[in-house]
Amino acid sequence: MIGRLRGKLVAEDPASGALLVDVGGVGYELAAPLGTTGRAEQGGADVVLHVHTHVREDALDLYGFASETERAVFRLLIGVPNVGPKTALAVLSALPLPDLGRAVRDGDVGRLTRVPGIGKKTAERLVLELKEKLPVVARPGAPSEARDDREPPEARPKDATRLIGALTNMGYRAAEAERAVSALGKRVGSEPLEDLLRAALAELAL
């Protein structure tokens, strides 16, 4: 399975979001939400993509994302009945993560049905299946909407609070989230949130 790629962006289709990335002379074709490369981490001339490998009987498809959180949300979406990878990409292309999280949280079926390929029944299913799992991601510079009210904000770093909130919104119990974040120690507050979330998810998988 391919989980991450770092290489030179050779081609990008602005209409579909399809990408061609050269990694050590090998060209990888990936489907991706629109605007992925603009949001992705850049390493010099390289672009860093988080990859979901989708295996079918007759094909192996790669889907690229700008962050670990985007990939996690994609995986939640394709876990919903009647939502395949193409529909999940359409959702992520049409709705930034903060907007998607709020639409699901608020049960905004009307907004979800404006996404191509999403009818009323599918929108209702998304709300039902994801309301307790989908993290509400704050826009850059905005305060986090997730907070563990059982502990005063000053008792833990802001990044720890955000991580715990994101994990609980993804379906983990508060105790599990706190354990995973505590295991990261001094990394919390000194590393990017996306890296910390990936590390916390790895702790939970142990």
Q: What is the pLDDT of residue 171?
A: 63
Q: What is the pLDDT of residue 188?
A: 84
Residues 24 and 61 in one domain: yes
Q: What is the pLDDT of residue 131?
A: 84
Residues 115 and 158 in one domain: no
Tell whether 84 is covered by a domain: yes
Answer for the pair 39, 45: CB distance below 8 angstroms, yes or no: no
Residue 21 tokens, joined: 């990335």
* Parent domain of 72: 68-130
Tell whether 44 is covered by a domain: yes
CATH number of the CATH domain containing 121: 1.10.150.20
Instruction: Classify 41 as helix, strand or coil.
Output: strand
Residues 73 and 52 in one domain: no
CATH number of the CATH domain containing 58: 2.40.50.140
User: How many angstroms separate the CA atoms of 140 and 144, rounded?
Assistant: 10
Residues 24 and 50 in one domain: yes
The pLDDT tens digits along the chain (206 residues) read 788 999 999 999 877 789 999 999 999 999 999 888 888 888 888 999 999 998 877 788 999 999 988 999 999 999 998 899 999 999 999 988 888 988 998 999 999 999 988 999 999 999 999 988 876 554 444 444 443 333 433 334 677 877 887 776 666 677 777 888 888 888 888 888 878 888 888 777 76
Tell whether 10 is covered by a domain: yes
Q: What DSSP assignment string belongs to 169-206?
A: HTT--HHHHHHHHHHTGGGTTTS-HHHHHHHHHHHHT-
Residue ending a domain, choose from 14, 47, 65: 65
For the chain, the domain total comes to 3
